[in-house]
Amino acid sequence: MKAVTIGVLLTVGLLVPAANAGQKPAARIDEPAPAFTLTDYSGGSHSLEDYKGKLVVLEWVNFDCPFVKKHYKPNNMQTLQKKYADKGVVWLSINSSAKGKQGHFDPRTIKARIKKHNAVPTAYLVDADGTVGKRYGARTTPHMYVINKDGVLIYAGAIDDKPSTKVDDVEGATNYVAAALDAAQEGKPVTVKATQSYGCSVKY
């Protein structure tokens, strides 16, 4: 996948309304990430503000999407979650599937699926009405965002440069999320700040 410039992103990426959103998303690269509060599958509340001073990853997820399976089957996503959690990064998996649509699960099923996939995000957050997904312009699963310690959005787009469902494509791919996190942790500018996301459409 070819990375797009920030100027192009503002035309075809973050400013394009998410599916059925009816509004333009508020997320902008190099600007404060939109605030939100969501509950996890057990009812616990999580606000972005709670994690100010830490690097935060937002991962839009739908365990039934083949593009998501591509990264969970070989433990690629879980490895990233654990690696960066060990470095103090907060990893929030967000599900914006509406009730009755693919990817929407009851709390018991969510807990079982997380265990089945050995997923280790800081929290799995439920956004069933799609408010947060539309605010961020999340269009695919996965759709990835990185927020720096000052609460500024420094990356948005694809997880890597291999837009396929093939597990074999994980190895050797350029991982944009890891690159953004590594740069931020080292106090360096993020080289690729935006790419076109790929995956299944978010089921708003």
Q: What is the DSSP string of the chain?
A: -PPPPHHHHHHHSTTSPPTT--S-----TTSBPPP-EEEETTS-EEEGGGGTTS-EEEEE--TTSHHHHHHHTTTHHHHHHHHHHTTT-EEEEEE-PPTTSTT---HHHHHHHHHHHT---SEEEE-TT-HHHHHHT--EES-EEEE-TTSBEEEEE-SBS--SS-GGGTTT--BHHHHHHHHHHTT---S--B----SEEP--
Give the phi and the psi of residue 183 in degrees, each rounded to 5.
Answer: -65, -45
What per-residue confidence (pLDDT) applies to 26? 87
Mean pLDDT for back-to-back runs of 10 residues, the chain (204 residues)? 32 34 78 97 95 97 98 98 98 97 95 96 98 98 98 98 97 97 97 98 97
Separation between Cα atoms, residue 151 and residue 53, nearest integer Å: 8
What per-residue confidence (pLDDT) applies to 24? 74
What per-residue confidence (pLDDT) applies to 23? 60
What are 157's strand-pairing partners? 144
- Taking the CB of residue 63, how many other CB atoms lie within 10 A of it? 22
Task: Tell me, yes or no, whether 193 lies in a domain.
Answer: yes
pTM greater than 0.75: yes
What per-residue confidence (pLDDT) applies to 3? 41
Task: Tell me, yes or no, whether 80 lies in a domain.
Answer: yes
Task: Tell me, yes or no, whether 22 lies in a domain.
Answer: yes
Task: Give the up-direction half-sphere exposure of residue 21: CA atoms within 13 A in the CB hemisphere.
Answer: 23
How many domains does the chain contain in total? 1
Task: Tell me, yes or no, whether 148 lies in a domain.
Answer: yes
Token pair 């509950």: residue: 39
Task: Tell me, yes or no, whether 69 lies in a domain.
Answer: yes
Task: Tell me, yes or no, whether 1 lies in a domain.
Answer: no
Task: Tell me, yes or no, whether 28 lies in a domain.
Answer: yes
Domain span at 97:
6-201
Separation between Cα atoms, residue 40 and residue 126, nearest integer Å: 6
What per-residue confidence (pLDDT) applies to 25? 82
Task: Tell me, yes or no, whether 173 lies in a domain.
Answer: yes
**What CATH number is given to the structural domain containing 43?**
3.40.30.10
User: How long a stretch of residues is the chain?
Assistant: 204
